[in-house]
Structure 1
Amino acid sequence: MSNKIYFNTPGRFSVKRSMVNVTTRLHHTIARKHAIKTAKKLLLTPARLKAKNPDPQNLIRGKVACEEGPLATYSLGEGPVWLITHGWSGSTSQFFPLMEHIAAQGFTALAFDYAGHGESGGRYGHLPAFVNAMDAMADSVDNIAGIVAHSMGSAAVLESKHRNLKDKPLLLVAPVVNYLDNLMLMIQRSGFSIKLFNEVISEVESQYQYPLQSIDPQKRLIERQAPTMIVHDSEDKFANHSISVEMSEQSQWVDLISVQGYGHNRIMKADETMQAFERLVEKSLLK
């Protein structure tokens, strides 16, 4: 259900959006606790994406313990590890072509599904849970050579303070680094009651001791001093390309490859993304 909210981009008046606004506001007014419970299920339950690509040959499946639920892992190749993370309502299968490319370059491509996504356990998803999963994966491996992240997974990588992820080369694919602005825009576009949304967020903040206003992936990216490549479609409807342009202009460590015709998801297996990985490896060796 929640992907219909987060990936909805109406450009003008919508009767459906108006109905969502009236219904959620009324529900919140009449039955506050039930409304919060229902909203939590709606807003924090990602869609379980079906496999988009066939399993690569020699793919090894595993599990990593996490307080959000057991994380399904996928490993391909041998050598230093590139940790790979998908976005909201995504799954590792979207990255199978890139994982094959990474493995062919002499690395281990290690990916995982977030809790509530793909083949992982758990039910709910949100940024604090994403960060917990990133940290659990970082705990599970020592020789991390770099990180690949898509969409909201980019925000999770940048928000993580794990020592094994610090100053690692970073490939960001269609990143959402203006996380708060993007989140609020999507909620406003959906018509969902802002007051009810804030109540759900307050519960998450209290549970994880993670204030929403402390989230600032843009600032974290600017502060990083490690080679970073961004691959972003200039017409991406869900992640603002202009923010990626801004990041590349503000940091000497960030390079941007702008493309067209892939959108937000198909870019994950674009030739330009494969080439960006190779360039990033070269830059990392020269660091």
Structure 2
Amino acid sequence: MSSKIYFNTRRFSPSKWLLGLGTRLHHGLAPAHAKRTASKLLLTPSRVQRDTDLPAGLVRQAVHTSEGQLMSYRLGQGPVWLLMHGWSGSASQLYPLMEQVAARGFTAIAYDHPAHGHSEGKTGHLPRFVRALDEVIERFGPIAGVMAHSMGGAVALSSRNPRLQTCPLLLVAPVVDYVPQLYAMVARSGYSMRLFDAVVKEIEQEYQHPLSEVDPLAALAKRLGPALIVHDEQDRFAPHQDSLRASQNGRTRLISTQGLGHGRILASPPLFAAFVELSQSVS
């Protein structure tokens, strides 16, 4: 959804009541137009296209998928670690980690989700990201591990690709209680929940991916491969307590940090150390 809604942590704003009234009236008077408008508002991320400070040796390559051309970024030589950014992010956020991965003798491959960075698309949502992820995995072959930031964690855990069930998984500030958090954010914005449900239903029908089946917490507990979470206790966008719950499944370990927030953690020593630990555990 729009970053103004997705990253809005305020419980109340003066315009909330007016937004709710307006969207309910719109949906009642012109339902088809209201759904198109809602899709554009709720499913349009902020597009970040940073081209500065490229790591030496970085190779960019467009990858054709059923969700459009996606821009991928490769660095290093060796077994492949696949890296994913979150909502309204881009692969450029992952450059510091890609350099760490490459320095350890691996190939780091990141890509921009549909409607993000330099990839094609105007709107994005979890089923679209999952389909794109599955096709990217098929394109790049066997993977040694996956690192996912924020909503990227929900994407990785929602995929049914068997390769993702056994490989090491490094989750950074993940959104693991995805559906309740999604609905809570829309509700906080004041947007018509009935209209939002109508938009969700269309996506479910198109992708055959019911939201009722999206449960990253449960999927994490069922994984066969090792999983490690790095999450800051002061994260304002992805609740740290959800990662704490996830770590109680007996299969997942949590590394908690202080003062790094939701974004700075991507270029932090604790994350780099966690990658080294996880990559060595299966080498």
Matches within 5 A, 1:67-86: 67-86=66-85
Look up the match of 2:136: 137
Note the C-alpha offset of 1:52: 8.1
**Aligned mates of 2:155, 2:275 — CA distance in 1:** 20
**Aligned mates of 1:140, 1:8 — CA distance in 2:** 36
Note the C-alpha offset of 1:241: 0.7
Look up the match of 1:270: 268
Note the C-alpha offset of 1:20: 1.5
Task: Identify which range, 46-55 or 168-177, moves more after superposition.
Answer: 46-55
Look up the match of 2:252: 254
Task: Identify which range, 41-50 or 125-134, moves more after superposition.
Answer: 41-50
Determine if contact 2:165/2:224 at 8 Å carries over to the other structure.
Answer: no
For structure 1, the residue ranges without an aligned partner over 5 or more in a row are none
**Aligned mates of 2:53, 2:278 — CA distance in 1:** 26
Where has structure 1 moved over 4 Å in runs of 4 or more? none
Determine if contact 1:77/1:106 at 8 Å carries over to the other structure.
Answer: yes
Note the C-alpha offset of 1:51: 1.8
Determine if contact 1:230/1:256 at 8 Å carries over to the other structure.
Answer: yes
Determine if contact 1:59/1:76 at 8 Å carries over to the other structure.
Answer: yes
Correspondence 1:3 to 2:21: no
Look up the match of 1:214: 213
| CA 1:52–1:182: 2 relative to 1, 3 Å | farther
2:65 partner SS: coil
Task: Identify which range, 264-273 or 157-166, moves more after superposition.
Answer: 157-166
What is the CA deviation profile of residues 156-197 of structure 1, one whole-angstrom value per residue up to 9, with x for unaligned ones?
111111133231001000000111011011101111110110
1:118 partner SS: coil
Determine if contact 1:53/1:94 at 8 Å carries over to the other structure.
Answer: no
Note the C-alpha offset of 1:260: 1.4
Note the C-alpha offset of 1:19: 2.1
Determine if contact 1:54/1:93 at 8 Å carries over to the other structure.
Answer: no
How many percent of aligned residue pairs carry the same amino acid? 49
| CA 1:178–1:53: 2 relative to 1, 3 Å | farther
Determine if contact 1:63/1:70 at 8 Å carries over to the other structure.
Answer: yes
**Aligned mates of 2:77, 2:15 — CA distance in 1:** 50
Determine if contact 1:142/1:164 at 8 Å carries over to the other structure.
Answer: no
**Aligned mates of 1:134, 1:85 — CA distance in 2:** 9
**Aligned mates of 2:71, 2:33 — CA distance in 1:** 32
Look up the match of 2:116: 117
Determine if contact 1:53/1:96 at 8 Å carries over to the other structure.
Answer: no
**Aligned mates of 1:224, 1:161 — CA distance in 2:** 11
**Aligned mates of 2:233, 2:42 — CA distance in 1:** 28
**Aligned mates of 1:26, 1:143 — CA distance in 2:** 50
**Aligned mates of 1:46, 1:53 — CA distance in 2:** 21
**Aligned mates of 1:147, 1:249 — CA distance in 2:** 21
Matches within 5 A, 1:55-204: 55-204=54-203
| CA 1:52–1:25: 2 relative to 1, 3 Å | farther
Look up the match of 1:239: 238
2:86 partner SS: coil
Matches within 5 A, 1:35-46: 35-46=34-45
What is the number of equivalent residue pairs in this alignment? 283
Task: Identify which range, 239-248 or 105-114, moves more after superposition.
Answer: 239-248
**TM-score computed with the length of structure 1 as normaliser:** 0.95
**Aligned mates of 1:196, 1:54 — CA distance in 2:** 42
**TM-score computed with the length of structure 2 as normaliser:** 0.97
**Aligned mates of 1:51, 1:231 — CA distance in 2:** 25
Note the C-alpha offset of 1:24: 1.2
